[in-house]
Structure 1
């Protein structure tokens, strides 16, 4: 009996020992797993910090951190990420639920509706922003805070598919986004470092915005499929609110002080444009340089809108399926080509230094025109992708150069109004191109593609030729004004004209003529905005408020 109890006790001790060993092994495994998890988390955190530090070095390079340009780049990238999250969150709603094979009339109606926000931006938002230019930080912060609140409202309307809430809120978000972009573009000269041109600075903003929007859109699409679009919108609200706080922390010199024009009569006899012209911009008061660049960009927008809807319906009707690929693959290839072209355009523009933005705009238009002509002759899937890519590239480069021209030529007192007019005109051009694409896609047969592309290519050639002729006339007129200004006074004093002023006085006109109504000479791209030969341009704009330039 005693031996039996002894064996039982030994067995129990063995079982207890085995249990303690199992517990020790479990604790060891748990400790190792916790350490591995902590190491992985630390690795992710370190990687995130490394990416953040690398991004900060890029955005703050060449003095951009000192002047405030780096913060403005990061702020614009954050608001672009928020806009991308809104787009992917609403992708499954009635706002984006229009099938691509719907009737062309419904697509045309959609195109016309997209013009509504720009009809608000041009006549109202731009002048309002000009009146509040001394509080631009708060204006930009207000657009961000308002979009955050609208995200919460749209999140509540997604479930019941409340179109009466979704549609006005989406239009308001688009208007506020354009208002932010207009205010940001008008602010750019105030934060421009001395070693960076306006084209390069605009390109940096665009490049980081495109990358941020692309990465965020991919992540947002996955989150929307997992937790639902309404929760992504609620998270987007936090993004916008944080961005609004960051906007209020921009440097103070972002806010331009109000200008004191002094006394003047209604006709502007003091040498400056009349006050009502300074507060309001139309196509007739933009000036020749800005108008020339805007017309070139309008032609590029017409091409972009045309290609989107023309190629879309060609794919749907089977005119680009000779390769045997599915409709989704073909559409993805065209979209990828256009997106890659736009991204490449931002990269190339960020490298451009010391080049005239007027020349950049014309070169971009010429490259897009030549590609469209070649695509019409060799029309098939891959030439169409190439045309879409080059169109995206030229549109991005041209718009960045146009922004630089407006920032350089237009005084601060009406710069926001000018950007509002420019944005409205470019959107109208894009819609016009889209409507032309819808009409030409009605052509039947396999010749529809080459014929439609040949029509738009011919229009682009005509636009390019008209701009080149107008530019030559403008430069000749400028040179003639220079000769008249120098030669006539010299002859009146009994001197021998050009020889008295030196051998190079009657040479080329030098700087591009200014964009103001008075036609004052402008500065080259490397000069500071509102200057002539490094000196403030009298009576047209105030000196820069950036104390670090």
Structure 2
């Protein structure tokens, strides 16, 4: 305690004491279950910094991407712009997974390089906030963030502590990442308030520098790829085929990711159409949907980090069914409230389904093929998110229509997931030839 007691000194002392206790609790959680010894804590810190950089960029570009541009241009031009920013993901994402199988050395350097490139792009955005260079730089930063996620998925099996499973490891890292995004996003908002949006982008550049350093602190044994066997959806020489249970989980996860990608962009258009010219109300309404989705993601990963699901297939099917039910309700009762409910349940279902997918990959594949399977599965999930986001851009900004279309697509995804679990598929059911009775012979 301070020698001379005053309200200010006691408050500062208690604040310092609570901060030290919070840091100590965080370190214990990050290093629990042998995570420090295995190297998982180092990967966790890198993931946290990536979430923090994403949050800072979202704060800096929120007005540009959804409000300022939307109010200055016609809807068709904004839709064209968003299509241009979303479409490259569909072209780039399929390249990332196969490329990982060819990277035998330098995974840490690849992670660090993605962060260094984001530093450069953050500076470009900060210096060109009011001209067209902002948009390709923002697109490049988003692509690098997605690439970081895929690369992280590929190296996670190499730092798995023996005390916990892959599904719990990924869920734990996501929870830490979401918490870091919330904290550093608040700091970015403060920089944006004081120095304007470019200030938040400079803050993002600093976070990316820290992340690049942290990536190089990941243990060197993640570089050891001797004996790895690439995973493949189809039987190929020198490759490990992916099991039916993994494909079932991919169908279910892809269906839910399509919903989350759709809601991310569709909600922006609908809110803008309903609150034309009122930027404050737009921010509050979009913030409520984003907050519900964030809470759902945190909740789903927190549950997944603590629970062990005995039947992952059933969990995935249940998650898709819950997302479908929420979407149907939103189509029947359109509004901001039901959209927020869809965001909450969709994010929760997405997190739980991803935990189940991780568990199936760990159980069904040998250790030599898990890194490849994680990289390829993450690529597939990114693609489905992009497809949903593109639908959110293309459809008219009417809640009932958007959620009706998404309900139909989720129903198809649920049917395919269910049928594939039982050894068939929609294609076989739909295209199965009708057996005609043989003609009667005289």
- In structure 1, C-alpha distance between the alignment counterparts of 2:243 and 2:67, rounded to whole Å: 39
Is 1:185 aligned with 2:185? no
Measure the CA separation in 2 of the matches of 1:413 and 1:317.
Answer: 44
Measure the CA separation in 2 of the matches of 1:93 and 1:316.
13
Query: Which range moves more in the overlay, 307-316 or 184-193?
Result: 307-316
1:427 aligns with 2:385: yes
Alignment of 1:464-479 (within 5 A): 464-473=414-423
**Partner Cα distance (1:177, 1:72) in 2:** 15
Q: 1:181-208, CA deviations, whole angstroms, 9 ceiling, x for partnerless residues?
A: 1111111111122232222111111111
Quote how far apart the aligned CAs of 1:310 are.
Answer: 5.0
Identify unmatched segments of 5+ residues in structure 2: 230-234, 426-442
151 and 458 in structure 1: CA distance in 2 versus 1, 3 angstrom threshold: closer
Q: Are residues 257 and 331 of structure 1, via their aligned partners in 2, closer, same or farther at CA, if it must alter by over 3 Å?
A: closer
Aligned equivalent of 1:147, options 100, 115, 118: 118
Q: What is the aligned partner in structure 2 of residue 345 from structure 1?
A: 300
Cα separation, 1, equivalents of 2:339 and 2:103: 45
Name the structure 2 match of 1:120.
92
CA–CA separation in structure 2 for the residues paired with 1:465 and 1:353: 25
Cα deviation for residue 220 of structure 1 reads 0.8
Query: Are residues 402 and 107 of structure 1, via their aligned partners in 2, closer, same or farther at CA, if it must alter by over 3 Å?
Result: farther
Greater displacement, 295-304 / 41-50: 41-50
Q: How does 1:46-445 map to 2 (within 5 A)?
A: 46-93=17-64, 97-99=68-70, 102-104=74-76, 106-107=78-79, 109-123=81-95, 125-158=96-129, 161-164=130-133, 166-259=134-227, 273-275=236-238, 288-308=244-264, 310-315=266-271, 329-379=284-334, 381-406=336-361, 409=365, 411-412=369-370, 414-415=372-373, 418-419=376-377, 421-435=379-393, 438-439=395-396, 441=397
Call closer, same or farther: CA 1:454–1:173 in 2, change over 3 Å. Answer: closer
Measure, in 2, the Cα distance between the counterparts of 1:420 and 1:332: 27
Pairwise CA distance, 1:85: 1.4
1:473 alignment partner, SS class: coil
Q: Distance in 2 between matches of 1:243 and 1:464?
A: 38
**Against the structure 1 CA distance between its residues 356 and 66, is the aligned structure 2 distance closer, same or farther, given a 3 Å change threshold?**
farther
- For the Cα contact (< 8 Å) 1:185–1:403, is it kept in 2? no
Residue-by-residue CA offset, 1:79-100 (whole Å, 9 max, x unaligned):
2112211222333446873227
Larger mean Cα displacement after TM superposition, 100-109 or 132-141: 100-109
| TM-superposed deviation, 1:232 | 3.3
* Counterpart contact for 1:197–1:354, Cα < 8 Å: no
TM-score (norm 2): 0.80
Please report how far the alpha carbon of residue 315 of structure 1 lies from its aligned counterpart in structure 2 after TM superposition: 4.7
Give the deviation of 1:454 after TM superposition: 4.2
- Tell me, in whole angstroms, the C-alpha distance in 2 between the residues paired with 1:211 and 1:260: 33
Higher helix fraction (1 or 2): 2
2-side partners of 1:377 and 1:366: how far apart?
A: 17
Given the two structures, how large is their TM-score scaled by the length of structure 1?
0.65
Alignment RMSD: 3.5
Which of 193-202 and 43-52 deviates more? 43-52
CA distance in 2, matches of 1:331, 1:417: 31
Cα deviation digits, residues 441-478 of structure 1 (max 9, x gap): 46xxxxx73x6534433442333123212211269xxx
- The 3 A distance-change label for structure 1 pair 421 and 386 is closer
Answer yes or no: is the 8 Å Cα contact 1:84–1:216 preserved in 2.
yes
Q: Deviations over 1:284-323 (max 9, x none)?
A: x75533332222122213333444555555555559xxxx
Deviation at 1:57, TM superposition (A): 0.9
Measured in 2, the distance between the counterparts of 1:247 and 1:182 equals: 14
Q: Aligned equivalents of 1:309 and 1:235: distance in 2?
A: 25
1:257 CA drift (Å): 2.8
Residues 100, 372 of structure 2: 8 Å contact kept: no
Superposed displacement of residue 365, structure 1: 0.6
On the 8 A contact 1:338/1:389 being kept in 2, the answer is yes
Per-residue CA deviations over 1:31-84 (Å, capped at 9, x if unaligned) read 979x98776655544333222111111111122222111221122112211221
* Higher relative contact order (CA closer than 8 Å, sequence separation 6+): 2
Which 5+ residue runs of structure 1 have no aligned equivalent?
1-30, 262-271, 279-284, 320-324, 443-447, 476-549
Task: Name the SS of the counterpart of 2:105 in structure 1.
Answer: helix
Q: Aligned residue for 1:509?
A: none
**Number of the residue aligned with 1:525:** none
User: CA 1:357 to 1:141, structure 2 compared with 1: closer, same or farther past 3 Å?
Assistant: farther
How many residues align? The count is 410
Q: Deviations over 1:97-150 (max 9, x none)?
A: 322794156325403521314522322x33333333433222212222222233
